[in-house]
Amino acid sequence: MCVHIVAQCMNMTIDEKIDEVKEIMESFFDPLDRYRYLIDQGELAKSFKEEYRLPEFKVSGCVSQVWLVPEYKDGTITYHSDSDALITKGVVSVFSYIYGGHTPGEIIANERNLTEELNFGNILSVNRRNGAYSMLLKIKEYAKACKQ
């Protein structure tokens, strides 16, 4: 599973990464297995620097506390993320993987609806889906700010 080994996937497009995660999620027939997969992603996420836990990096609209920190370097954005809830940490980690390592233009241009394509409606509560949507908006907002 490439989501676990991000370094080997850096040459993938955003669409390829989305398709990969979607395929993994669809390989689980039981919604609880999909839920567990997201929790596993949260457990496997890179450590998060304490100095990033600033109000300006918090994502509003989430049930849990979520931090999403963009790092713009050499024309691409890397997202550092964390949450105080493992399921939410898994979701933001997957989103950070999908959009990380891409240019602001690539991120902005991608219009795929991840909450729908990854079938979050079957595994996340309405409030958590709204939080996931807020994370995606923040990712796009950061990309737009870096593009200027």
Residues known to be catalytic: 62
Amino acid residing at 63: V
The pair of three-digit structure tokens given for residue 147, joined into one six-digit string: 């593009």
Is 138:99 a contact under the CB 8 Å cutoff? no
Cβ neighbours of 135 (radius 10 Å): 26
Is 36:116 a contact under the CB 8 Å cutoff? no
Question: If 0-12 CB within 10 Å is exposed, 13-18 middle and 19+ buried, where does residue 63 land?
Answer: middle
Cβ neighbours of 26 (radius 10 Å): 12
Is 88:64 a contact under the CB 8 Å cutoff? yes
